[in-house]
């Protein structure tokens, strides 16, 4: 048994059985080892950002860690943007990155680079296996690190000779480190704060869906506090049966309004809200000056325990039922295209339990609004703001939840970043409907240029904002990757296309010209 084989056995023994891969030569012994263990599902991604984004989506839906397999520094670097998003989402990911044999690293071979430097810039945990005998234990610690502190980026660098040299056997599973908790005094104090007028419980991460969200709803029902969530969150339960909450928005000016009445903010599973960008003469944070922020439980702490402790302290029992969103489906829209109608069609047609990956950027607002009383759904956002995660996250979500319909809502500019994920959807026969909003440009940049006082883009700005001349042809792009597609220009066509896409179990793509 060589080092690579002990690592694959360790990963499987630690509950990691999916590997999103883009391997190269230095990973050949690891690939050969993967070949011996068919329990490991290897999913080929034609670009590394597709692999890391898929691992992120997988974690968000499965709450379990997937591995990626990447090729030296450049391979890891290609995955960094989506690791950034995963890091902000607190998704646990284990990157296995092949490196040169350690004795080869003293030479300036073509792929030699500062692999550790790149990893340190993005990972919570980085280790280069020192020898074959250590690989298994390092792998177990890597998985442990990925599962600790609420989900982390963990990178194990695997020099080729540590993979090919003889080793002993796999290492045993290591439980994640125990999460920190606030003190009882802090819980008591926060419970008092939440009972005051104009208080809000600011939630994040896994507290925004399922049992924890319902628990938070009980706390709100008993204490009278508002529940608020950030604009971009890893996963949020929406539609019928979800708790009522206020979601922040993108513009800082709007967020100042959303929070203007809040005097007390208790953070639980979330960092404090902050403006996406700084703007001249605007504040960096959206809360009023006289708002007191209680940092009760950070995202890397035990916010599940904390919410229960808050509920207990407040006496929020199961009988304090939160007011939940009731089903209210719109009519099927017809006629000329609008984002509002796309949203109404999604609301009317998307099935219970759908997973929606929203990277539609400037198109998102009307879609979110129209679907608020739809059937129960999970929505996922680009928490780290690095565009190009939507299609990869949809891949990971579909692999995590084979029984559920996945819909990606993509800006055309965003989708172009990692369009190679369409091929992985076709290869793995994933049940994903991709909706591309073809507004032919980075529309947000037109808005942002106006925000800095330039109301009309000149030639250079226009040529950097507009993805036109030529326009992208998403039907051909999809076909090129093996995905069926169609272009729609009015609401009736969209409704028909959406129904067609949802009816198959194969990936589908709809280019919405808007």
Residues 279-298 that bind a second copy (CB under 8 A): 280, 284-285
Shortest separation between residue 82's beta carbon and a second copy, angstroms: 8
What's the CA gap between 336 and 341, in Å, rounded?
9
For every residue of 443-467, DSSP letters joined together read HHHHHHHHHTT--S--HHHHHHHB-
The 67-96 contact track toward a second copy, x by CB under 8 A, reads --x---xxx-xx-xx--xx-xx--------
Nearer to a second copy, 333 or 396 (CB): 396
Type and span of the H or E element at 102: none
Residues 438-467 binding a second copy (CB under 8 A) are 444-445, 448-449, 451-454, 457-461, 463-464, 467
Out of 18, 203, 232, 406, point to the residue binding a second copy (CB under 8 A).
Answer: 232
Q: Which is nearer to a second copy, 425 or 495 (CB)?
A: 425
Binders of a second copy among 172-231, rule CB under 8 A? none
Residue 169 Cβ vs a second copy, minimum distance, rounded to whole Å: 21
Regarding 305 and contact with a second copy (CB under 8 A), the answer is no
Check: CB of residue 128 under 8 Å from CB of residue 161: no
H or E element that contains 294 = strand 292-297
Residues 119-138 close enough to bind a second copy by CB under 8 A: 120-122
Window 13-42: residues binding a second copy (CB under 8 A): 21, 23-26, 28-29, 31-32, 34-38, 40, 42
* Beta bridge mates, 96: 69, 156
Binding mask 414-433 for a second copy (x = CB under 8 A): --xx-xx--x--xx------
For 210, which DSSP code? Answer: H
Instruction: Please select the residue that binds a second copy; options are 221, 256, 258, 274, rule is CB under 8 A.
Output: 274
**What are the phi and psi torsion angles at 407 (to 5°)?**
-125, 125
CB 148 within 8 A of CB 158: no
Position among 176, 288, 365, 385 found at the interface with a second copy (CB under 8 A): 385
Task: Pick the binder of a second copy from 473, 486, 490, 492 (CB under 8 A).
Answer: 473
Q: Are strands 354-359 and 406-411 parallel, antiparallel or unpaired?
A: parallel
Size of residue set near a second copy by CB under 8 A:
106
Q: How far apart are CA 168 and CA 323, in angstroms?
A: 57
Q: Which of 147, 87, 88 is CA-nearest to residue 119?
A: 87
Structure tokens at 298: 């950070």
CA separation, residue 166 to residues 102, 131, 132, 351, 460 (Å): 15, 10, 6, 51, 58
Using the rule CB under 8 A, which residue among 400, 481, 508, 512 binds a second copy?
481
């Amino acid at each position: 048994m060589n080092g690579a084989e002990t690592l694959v056995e360790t990963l499987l023994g630690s509950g990691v059985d999916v590997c999103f891969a883009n391997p190269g030569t230095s990973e050949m012994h690891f690939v050969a080892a993967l070949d011996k263990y068919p329990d490991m599902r290897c999913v080929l991604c034609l670009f590394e950002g597709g692999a890391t984004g898929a691992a992120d989506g997988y974690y968000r839906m499965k709450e379990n860690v997937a591995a990626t397999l990447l090729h030296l520094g450049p391979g890891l670097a290609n995955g960094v943007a989506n690791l950034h998003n995963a890091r902000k989402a607190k998704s646990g990911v284990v990157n296995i990155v092949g490196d040169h044999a350690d004795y080869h690293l003293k030479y300036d071979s073509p792929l030699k680079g500062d692999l550790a430097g790149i990893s340190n810039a993005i990972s919570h945990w980085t280790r280069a296996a020192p020898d074959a005998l250590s690989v298994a234990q390092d792998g177990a610690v890597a998985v442990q690190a990925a599962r600790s502190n609420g989900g982390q980026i963990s990178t194990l660098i695997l020099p080729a000779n540590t993979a090919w040299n003889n080793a002993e056997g796999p290492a045993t599973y290591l439980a994640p480190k125990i999460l920190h908790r606030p003190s009882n005094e802090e819980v008591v104090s926060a419970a008092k704060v939440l009972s005051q007028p104009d208080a809000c419980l600011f939630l994040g991460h896994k507290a925004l869906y399922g049992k924890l969200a319902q628990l938070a709803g009980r706390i709100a029902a008993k204490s009278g506090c508002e529940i608020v969530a950030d604009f971009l969150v890893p996963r949020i339960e929406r539609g019928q049966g979800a708790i009522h909450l206020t979601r922040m928005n993108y513009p800082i000016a709007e967020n100042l309004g959303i929070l203007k009445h809040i005097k007390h903010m208790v953070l639980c599973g979330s960092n404090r809200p902050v403006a996406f960008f700084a703007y001249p003469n605007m504040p960096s944070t959206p809360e009023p000056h006289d708002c007191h922020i209680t940092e009760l439980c950070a995202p890397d702490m035990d916010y599940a325990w904390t919410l229960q402790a808050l509920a207990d302290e407040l006496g929020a029992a199961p009988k304090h039922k939160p007011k939940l969103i009731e089903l209210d489906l719109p009519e099927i829209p017809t006629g000329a295209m609008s984002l509002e109608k796309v949203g109404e069609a999604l609301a009317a047609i998307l099935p219970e339990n759908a997973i929606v990956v929203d990277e539609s950027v400037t198109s998102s607002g009307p879609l979110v609004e129209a679907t608020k009383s739809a059937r129960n759904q999970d929505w996922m956002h680009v928490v780290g703001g690095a565009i190009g995660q939507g299609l990869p996250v949809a891949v990971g979500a579909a692999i995590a939840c084979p029984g559920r319909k996945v819909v990606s809502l993509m800006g055309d500019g965003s989708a172009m970043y990692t369009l190679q994920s369409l091929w992985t959807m076709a290869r793995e026969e994933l049940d994903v409907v991709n909706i591309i909003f073809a507004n032919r440009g980075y529309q947000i940049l037109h808005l942002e240029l106006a925000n800095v006082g330039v109301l009309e883009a000149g030639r250079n700005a226009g040529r950097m904002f507009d993805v036109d001349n030529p326009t992208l042809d998403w039907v051909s792009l999809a076909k090129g990757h093996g995905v069926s597609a169609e272009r729609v220009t009015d609401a009736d066509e969209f409704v028909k296309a959406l129904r067609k896409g949802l009816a198959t179990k194969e990936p589908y793509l709809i280019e919405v010209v808007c």
